Amino acid sequence: MSLPGSCLTLTNQRVGLYIGPASSGNSRRTKLKTTDEMLHELVVKDRLHDLEMAYCRGVDRRDAALLHSIFFEDAIEEHGDMYSGRATEFAEWVFRDFLPKYELTAHYVLNEWYRVDGDKAEGETHRLSYHRTRAADGSATEAIAACRTFNRYECREGLWKISYRSVVRDWVTQRPVDDSLYHGHFGMELSKPNDQDESYRLLSLFPRSDRL
């Protein structure tokens, strides 16, 4: 039985997933997985997605407990020239030495691609980050950067977390901030890099110091 609008076929309780063009001697290349295997993979990928989302929220809301919770204790973080070492110490460094210089940051995950193999997985994510600083004279500067992360994940004692992450830069730009754009037609509540952010007041299921 074929599933409408897809390259999936159900045969003898297994799912055949079309993964490439025909090759010599084969009408098509297929990888067979049971529906349970595919559902398990989807659940794992959803968990990996949550880990990446939690990184963004942990950094931007300055939630150290949340950021710590996405890494295993022995995980390694290689963050370019800024940091290389234990991920737990990276989390401490971010809040102690890196983030205090910025009045606001915003991190976004764009493309995500994951591969799951038993109790291990790998992923590549494309990201954008925004960092705003303000000088003593009141003028502000914003840096916008794109990068990719190469991630390894493991499931230990039933829990998926990050065991290794490396970051490479795609591009970066910097420009003055036009503060007038945040008023008038575009005026609205501003995000805050702390527990005073509106999300804590409006979303009861996203508490401070949440953990994954």
Note the pLDDT of residue 26.
Answer: 52
Q: What is the pLDDT of residues 17-28, one digit of tens each?
A: 544 555 555 554
Strands 71-79 and 159-176 turn out to be parallel
One DSSP character per residue, the chain reads -BPTTSSEEEETTEEEEEEE--BTTBS-EEEEEEHHHHHHHHHHHHHHHHHHHHHHHHHHTT-HHHHHTTEEEEEEEEETTTEEEEHHHHHHHIIIIIGGG-SEEEEEEEEEEEEEETTEEEEEEEEEEEEEEE-TTS-EEEEEEEEEEEEEEEEETTEEEEEEEEEEEEEEEEEE--GGGGSGGG--PPP-SSTTSHHHHH-TTS-TT---
The mean pLDDT of 7-30, rounded to a whole number, is: 49
Structure tokens at 5: 């609008």
Note the pLDDT of residue 2.
Answer: 42
- Check pLDDT > 80 for residue 42: yes
Note the pLDDT of residue 24.
Answer: 52
Q: What is the pLDDT of residues 141-170, one digit of tens each?
A: 999 999 999 999 999 999 999 999 999 999
The mean pLDDT of 1-15, rounded to a whole number, is: 44
Q: What percent of the chain has pLDDT over 90?
A: 79
Q: What is the pLDDT of residues 176-186, one digit of tens each?
A: 999 999 998 88
Note the pLDDT of residue 154.
Answer: 98
CATH class of 42-202: alpha beta
As a whole number of angstroms, the distance between CA 130 and CA 109 comes to 12
Structure tokens at 100: 């205090």
The mean pLDDT of 125-129, rounded to a whole number, is: 99
Q: What is the pLDDT of residues 79-113, one digit of tens each?
A: 999 999 999 999 999 999 999 999 999 999 999 99
Note the pLDDT of residue 121.
Answer: 98
* Domain boundaries defined on the chain: 42-202
Query: Whole-prediction pTM value?
Result: 0.84
